[in-house]
Structure 1
Amino acid sequence: MKKWMQLWLPVLLWVGMIFYFSSQPYEKQDMRPTFAQYVDEHTVEKYFSWVDFRYVGHEVSIAHLGVPGFLEFFLRKGAHFSVYFVLAILLHRALSHYSMRKGQAVIFALLLTAAYAGFDEVHQSFTKDRTPLWQDSVLDTVGGSFGLAARLLFMRLKRRGSAPRI
């Protein structure tokens, strides 16, 4: 039981945190007022006014979103990526302790990460002012893939004795 807790409790806590934040309406997570108060908009405009692209059919640019909205877009997408980066690492860590080949643990961790990303977007569809996007599930899965790659690289370096001390 102790080993199970050490392996799976971090996964369950992380998934619970994702679920909690997905349960919040957008207005509770709106970072635009904070950015407007603390960020020098002229500096951001100076360096990033050239950025202009479409995400899910919407323009992402300072001209369209304003500096606070522009920064919030990248903060939110960065959160998607990084939260699932960590989830995949935690899942792989837990799954690696079962008798399966190394590749199977990687595949299962990635499949579980992708499945939870999809579930999370469905969950958001029931939350006020939240928009479920399959594109965010893809971003989450990419984040998970990078997390797994980082974990495997770290494990390889550790076996060689050249991993950085953390």
Structure 2
Amino acid sequence: MGRVAAWVPALAWAAVIFSLSAQPTLPAPEVPYVDKVLHFGAYAVLGACLAFAVHRSSLPMALAVLLGAAYGASDEIHQMFVPGRSPDVFDWVADAAGVAAAVYLYSRWRVRRGAPAGAAVARVPFPGA
């Protein structure tokens, strides 16, 4: 898979997130904080896609976290313009945490698979890594 093609899954998933954010209401169980869990999960998928893309593009893994967190922020701003929706900083925190968790797990997985020394994945700036 080429460097440009590696970004297709992340772009496609970002489009899914955008389309869901454009809906005035979404069905969700009446469980406290379940929306935060859903945000975390959706953005964990985005984080994994971004981690794959930056790895295949030989870019630093931190870029995946920054792009995912920035997209989460832009998603919350987007919701200001959708009737029935509103931005929530705690949704963004869940988004960023999902991205960071997935990027971290992807990085650890790459290391365990024996990524060559000096690969982009080896520059992960996470504590204890």
TM-score normalized with structure 1 length: 0.63
Q: What number of residue pairs does the alignment pair up?
A: 115
1: CA distance between counterparts of 2:54 and 2:28?
36
Structure 1 gap ranges (5+): 33-68, 161-166
Displacement of 1:98: 2.8
- Given candidates 34, 42, 51, the residue that maps to 1:83 is 42
State which structure, 1 or 2, has the greater radius of gyration over its C-alpha atoms: 1
2: CA distance between counterparts of 1:139 and 1:31?
16
For residues 33-72 of structure 1, the aligned pairs below 5 Å read: 69=30, 71=31
Displacement of 1:99: 4.1
Displacement of 1:153: 1.5
- Given candidates 111, 114, 133, the residue that maps to 2:69 is 114
Is residue 2:13 matched to residue 1:14? yes
**RMSD of the TM alignment (CA)?**
1.9
AA aligned to 2:2 is: K
2: CA distance between counterparts of 1:90 and 1:31?
25
1:83-138 Cα distance to aligned partner (Å, 9 max, x none):
111111211211122344xxxx2111111011100000000111111110122111
Task: Give identity over the alignment, percent.
Answer: 30
2: CA distance between counterparts of 1:24 and 1:7?
28
Q: Determine the structure 1 residue equivalent to 2:90.
A: 135
Is residue 2:125 matched to residue 1:125? no
**Alpha-carbon distance change, 99 to 10 in structure 1, aligned in 2, over 3 angstroms:** closer
Q: Which has the higher strand share?
A: 1
1:37-86 Cα distance to aligned partner (Å, 9 max, x none):
xxxxxxxxxxxxxxxxxxxxxxxxxxxxxxxx2x2x44321110011111
* Greater CA drift, 13-22 or 73-82: 73-82
1: CA distance between counterparts of 2:42 and 2:84?
21
Runs of 4+ in 1 over 6 A off after TM superposition: none
TM-score normalized with structure 2 length: 0.79
Tell me which of the two structures has the higher relative contact order, counting C-alpha pairs closer than 8 angstroms and 6 or more residues apart: 2
C-alpha contact (below 8 Å) 2:28/2:35 kept by paired residues: no
